[in-house]
Chains A and B, each alone.
Chain A
């Protein structure tokens, strides 16, 4: 499955080489990398546009809908009923043609796809076909903005917690490797083979259906409490099960892989050396284990943060959480291409920008890394 990690693989972690001028090297590298990323984003967004429009077939569906709607309206109109059928048909054709022209459906799809691409890339997201925000707006921007807070609330809290918990627990375990806790985490790590929604089902079964303690789903009690504090508490209560599901499903494998990662770095010679010098374990951890692993930690954190953007379609469906994931799913189901493309293009931009910035972050956190430090040997 397309994990975006490799896109941000630190290709710049290379041995330092003497180069003519640091500035020209950095400038050249930046320009080349930027162009490559922009091209990648353009191609990715264009492909998404093609797929979301079924290569133009959605236009045919839309034309059919327009014709059907007009024919329906004409057949209901008592004035039209008096006209002979040939004339009526001509009127329907003319109205459908005007409507298609208004929506730009008369132009061939291949041309339209490029104007879609231009609008998407300039973040001119336009209007949704069918969806509207709860406040009644058809602007894709507003629809997306409305769904962003619930997604951020649920996924940011759980993922940020999960991330820092995994890293610190892994650091702790890597010091005590072979202990009972360590072996317990290893033994439990296969539980992460099941996705979060799967644990969600069991949690709902146990805490909502059998015990009746927590709500089955949704974000807030219905009707929503008027009092702000009660509202917040109700949202918190609804968050317990989905965030537990997420944390349980990802925790053990997360801790396991970070632990293994830290262990590999703790067996480096310079760590042994530090130990021999008699440094405190806290110092060793901070200066000799965390420091060289920081690029990887930062990469993972950054990708986790942009991963929040897509939410989790299925977890949101299982828990009826009104986030971006469910918006995406709803949009796909009713062929609402502007919303699909809107969400996809923002994701592509976020990914591209993050990947670009990560290169510079590596330099900041790891002195061994130089930007554009030459080809891999």
Chain B
């Protein structure tokens, strides 16, 4: 054991090992953060949520750090709501009237991607009547529309053709915020107001309204075409990727090792059975079978994990372990154990298995990223877990939505970079471990 620790201490001499450990610790920290801040069920709810969860998020928004690459300040989202007090309401002089004012500062260089007004009203028979006016910083007043606000109503100025005509054929997102004197559409910065003059027809009637100005950037990761914040998937992809890679690697290599040891120790038909199963397993096409299981049976990531382990147990490494155990079996200390009457179980688990741990560890660490990428590969074929967000699923969704065609590079790059960090971290550590634990490689 002490020699084992001594070997581990040698890691310090390998810069690649230190780099690998740093990257892995970073990922583990990210994974812990994800699990602590967003519980499992919450992550699923968020990721499967529709408009009710993500309504206030813009579609296909860039990450907020996209600003760094342009000299413009890209529009952030602005949400004003009378229900939470971010917009003000004042009763008018005449009875049954009310004025809702949405006042905000618009300091950005680009136009908002979308403007939406949500109404929530209470009434018995006749919905309240609303007139919307838009006040610009330079003192103009634009008549937006007049409508009756039903219980849960949405008004999108950008799709209002009458308003577009009034704004001399520019869509509201641009026309309402444009500097009227410039030929090129340019944002007129300053304080804007959306004023709603409400008329109630019933004494108990009431109206709440929410103004959402979707920006062009959102969150540190941006959003996808369903308005979902990619941060959720990127964060939650981390524990899933690590768990999948670690469980698959540990599950496979430990079981393989144990089976190889048992086969060698008992010999005869046990050994040949193990050998024959391994040979049959090599005829079976690995990835196609996983795809078959995914399409025909279940796409749950944990079922696929089980299948991966099952198919890899009798992989080619069983032959490598077998060769090592054949040597170990003949060594004098095993003979000594046999002489004092140790049980078969004791010999296999206490004497034979510990001997190959140094061989196992580097292999285990290098196996982890290959399983992480395997999960991503399956997701790329549309066989990702149906409910959980994973990095592979993000890449697949980005690919299917043509993110590369449309220039939404962040959407594919973010999960891809996290994936390659994982791959690189474990591979670097694994290579260093391999050189430490494999004396034949040490000098090379």
Contact = CB atoms under 8 A, between A and B. Distances in A.
A204 B395 CA distance: 13
Contact of B427 (A54, A58, A190, A198): A190
B118 to A, nearest CB: 36
Interface stretch (B187-195, B344-352, B405-413): B405-413
B409 A7 contact: no
A6 B312 contact: no
Interface in B1-42: 16
B279 interface: yes
Given A44-B280, A202-B416, A3 B291 contact: no
Contacts of A166: none
B380 A314 contact: yes
B282 interface: yes
A191 B424 contact: yes
B318 to A, nearest CB: 7
A273 interface: no
B128 interface: no
A204 B412 CA distance: 11
Interface residues of A, number: 63
Interface in A259-302: 260, 263-264
Given A6-B282, A209-B407, A329 B381 contact: yes
Interface size class of B (residues with CB under 8 A): 35 or more
A320 to B, nearest CB: 11
A79 to B, nearest CB: 39
Contact of B282 (A7, A191, A314, A344): A7
Nearest to B311: A2
Contacts of A352: 283
Nearest to B368: A193
Kindly list the 4 A-B residue pairs having the minimum CB-CB distance in the complex, ordered from nearest: A44-B283, A190-B427, A6-B316, A6-B319
- Which residue, of A187, A328, A332, has the highest number of chain B Cβ atoms within 10 A? A332
A177 B444 CA distance: 8
Interface in B329-345: none
Nearest to B378: A314
B383 to A, nearest CB: 10
Nearest to A47: B284
21 contacts: A2-B314, A3-B316, A6-B319, A7-B316, A9-B319, A36-B276, A36-B279, A40-B276, A48-B285, A48-B289, A190-B424, A205-B412, A209-B404, A209-B407, A264-B440, A310-B287, A314-B381, A332-B292, A344-B284, A348-B283, A376-B326
B325 to A, nearest CB: 12
Interface of A: 1-7, 9, 36, 39-41, 43-45, 47-48, 51-52, 54, 57-58, 177, 186-187, 189-195, 197-198, 201-202, 204-205, 208-210, 216, 260, 263-264, 310, 313-314, 317-318, 328-329, 332-333, 335, 340, 343-344, 347-348, 351-352, 376
A260 B296 contact: no
Interface string B291-333: 1110111000000000000011011111110000010000000
Contacts of A340: 288, 292
A318 B392 CA distance: 13
Interface stretch (B100-108, B172-180, B214-222, B369-377): B369-377
A35 to B, nearest CB: 12
A329 B378 CA distance: 11
A189 B431 contact: yes
B279 A40 contact: yes
B283 A318 contact: no
